[in-house]
Structure 1
Amino acid sequence: MEAATLQKRLGSAMRERRTALDRSQESFADLIKMHRAYYSAIERGERNITLHTMYRVARGLGVSVKDLMEDARL
């Protein structure tokens, strides 16, 4: 599977979790201390994020990295 496809699937899973929490991208990015534009690019699948960044996002969403990976079917 192509890297871009993996990134888009992961970003989509993050977006679904975030919207289920009724949080805007801006408020969520503030929560995890990340710039909103950078977080937005992650959700669009435009960034190849590090494991550390994935951990920060998962923690902000109240789930494990494993849960995010499963949501993205990775």
Structure 2
Amino acid sequence: MTKPTPLAVQLGRALRAHRQATKLSQDDFADRIKMHRAYYSAIERGEKNITLVTLHRIADGFGVSMSKLLADLG
């Protein structure tokens, strides 16, 4: 397994904060965006470098823009 990059870890933390703000479990959110929970969990841990398509899918699940998610990294 590759070591998580700092940017992937930052993104994972931002996604976890959004998910927790929605009061959804990883299982429930992964179901909402039709993604396997284990894969979504790895994203939150910063273990996956995701594509823009995946980021868009996650943003849609939260009902926010991709730019909003990225703005929350800093």
Question: Is the TM-score greater than 0.5?
Answer: yes
Q: Give the whole-Å Cα distance in 1 for the aligned partners of 2:19 and 2:52.
A: 18
Q: Give the whole-Å Cα distance in 2 for the aligned partners of 1:41 and 1:64.
A: 21
Task: Report what 1:37 is aligned to.
Answer: 38
Per the normalisation by structure 2, the TM-score is 0.93
Q: Give the whole-Å Cα distance in 2 for the aligned partners of 1:61 and 1:11.
A: 14
What is the count of residue pairs matched by the alignment? 71
Identical amino acids, percent of aligned pairs: 56
Q: What 5-or-longer segments of structure 2 have no aligned partner? A: none
Task: Report what 1:24 is aligned to.
Answer: 25
Instruction: Specify which structure has the higher proportion of helix.
Output: 1
| Correspondences of 1:27-66 after superposition (within 5 Å) | 27-66=28-67
Q: Give the whole-Å Cα distance in 2 for the aligned partners of 1:29 and 1:51.
A: 17
Q: What 5-or-longer segments of structure 1 have no aligned partner? A: none
Runs of 4+ with deviation above 2 angstroms: none
Q: Give the whole-Å Cα distance in 1 for the aligned partners of 2:73 and 2:58.
A: 14
Amino acid at match of 1:44: R
RMSD: 0.9
